[in-house]
């Protein structure tokens, strides 16, 4: 009598871990062996540090975007806010001669106000987040162009340039900023009551409202924090470029959303973590870096990014369905 082989059971959530691990292994293997010099340039400490430094901008915005997507929302305005923050910061420093610390505080405050307005419009008038932030995407880009009449504002202030290009202890300064923002957003989401409210709103908004949670204020705070993270990345990017560029951050909302999806956050809401968003941003950065090392034509790079998005969503949706089936089976038992 033949023994039946026992079926290997893989819990749904772990499919994400397995999928990302396999993807990362293939990235390292393919990009490493295709380096024409015969060396593993892709795996060199300098290149890995550079990848993290580049991915830091996507990740910082991604932390705020994770909160928004967990409540089943979206924010398409972050790319335009990157441009607006760089323009405002450069204008405050160069044209108004304000101290850099004061200028940064004003820019971040503007980001909080903008995000709060998004949350207010979404909750007060029941306008879909997609519509509100799509309008914001166009408006803020136009505002950035209008402020500087389409011309960049150059800024050679050493303190300003240090934000994006400084290397204390041999580590790019943006990575320190990334670490601080990561700890803040992860701690709030994982260990505070407000973090539980975020998951509750994404899981069942009406039930959360009936349980006494102030959904109105929760959404305002979430969107305010998301816009603020866009302003932070905009400040870093402007510092790297040495100027406030009104066209900076074009299509970055797609890169950020891709990083969040790769990290396993569900577009349906209720699921997502900050550490996995960081992992998603780094993996997306590895993909871009590897394609550049291989001198892949930019047009093909867009195609590859599209495939990555589809693959990430497929893995995530498969995980969600598998978890739902497992739950139904347990209930039926």
Report percent pLDDT > 70 for the chain.
81
| Residue 293 CA, distance from chain mean position | 23
CATH of 55-315, one of 1.10.287, 3.30.70, 1.10.3470, 1.10.10: 1.10.3470
Contact (Cβ atoms closer than 8 angstroms) between residue 62 and residue 184: no
Distances (CA, A) of 11 to 15, 17, 325: 7, 11, 10
The string of pLDDT tens digits covering residues 301-312 is 888 878 877 777
For the chain, what are the domain ranges? Answer: 55-315
Q: How far apart are CA 115 and CA 121, in angstroms?
A: 10
- The number of helix segments (H) and strand segments (E) in the chain equals 13, 2
Give the pLDDT confidence score for residue 16 in this predicted structure: 56
The string of pLDDT tens digits covering residues 163-206 is 999 999 999 999 999 999 999 999 999 999 999 999 999 999 99
Please measure the distance between the N-terminal and C-terminal CA atoms of the chain and give it in whole angstroms. Answer: 29
Phi, psi of 302 (to 5 degrees): -65, -40
pTM for this structure? Answer: 0.88
Q: Minimal CA–CA distance to 206: which of 8, 71, 61?
A: 71
List beta partners, residue 243: 154
Q: How far apart are CA 208 and CA 54, in angstroms?
A: 38
On the question of pLDDT at 9 being above 60, the answer is: no
Q: When comparing pLDDT for 84 and 319, which is higher?
A: 84
The string of pLDDT tens digits covering residues 54-71 is 999 999 999 999 999 999
């Amino acid at each position: 009598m033949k023994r039946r082989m026992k079926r290997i059971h893989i819990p749904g959530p772990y499919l994400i871990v397995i999928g990302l691990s396999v993807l990362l292994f293939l990235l390292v293997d393919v990009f490493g062996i295709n380096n024409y010099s015969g060396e593993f340039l892709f795996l060199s400490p300098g290149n890995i540090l550079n990848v993290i430094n580049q991915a830091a901008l996507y990740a910082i915005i991604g932390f705020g975007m994770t909160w928004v997507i967990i409540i089943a929302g979206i924010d398409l305005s972050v790319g335009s806010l990157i441009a607006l923050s760089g323009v405002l910061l450069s204008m405050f420093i160069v044209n108004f001669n304000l101290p850099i610390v004061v200028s940064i505080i004003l820019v971040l405050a503007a980001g909080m106000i903008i995000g709060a307005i998004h949350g207010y419009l979404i909750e007060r008038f029941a306008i879909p987040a997609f519509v509100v932030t799509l309008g914001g995407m166009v408006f803020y880009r136009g505002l950035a162009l209008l402020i500087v009449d389409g011309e960049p504002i150059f800024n050679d202030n050493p303190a300003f340039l240090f934000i994006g290009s400084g290397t204390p202890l041999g580590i790019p300064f943006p990575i320190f900023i990334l670490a601080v923002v990561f700890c803040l957003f992860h701690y709030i989401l994982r260990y505070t009551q407000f973090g539980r409210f975020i998951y509750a709103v994404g899981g069942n908004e009406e039930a959360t409202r009936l349980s006494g949670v102030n959904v109105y204020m929760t959404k305002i705070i979430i969107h305010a924090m998301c816009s603020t993270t866009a302003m932070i990345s905009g400040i870093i990017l402007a510092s790297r470029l040495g100027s406030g560029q009104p066209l900076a951050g074009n299509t970055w909302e797609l890169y950020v959303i891709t990083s969040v999806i790769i990290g396993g956050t569900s577009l349906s809401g209720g699921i997502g973590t900050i550490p996995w968003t960081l992992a998603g941003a780094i993996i997306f950065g590895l993909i871009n870096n590897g394609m550049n090392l291989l001198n892949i034509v930019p047009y093909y790079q867009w195609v590859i990014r599209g495939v990555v998005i589809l693959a990430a969503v497929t893995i995530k949706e498969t995980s969600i369905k598998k978890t739902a089936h497992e739950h139904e089976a347990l209930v039926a038992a």
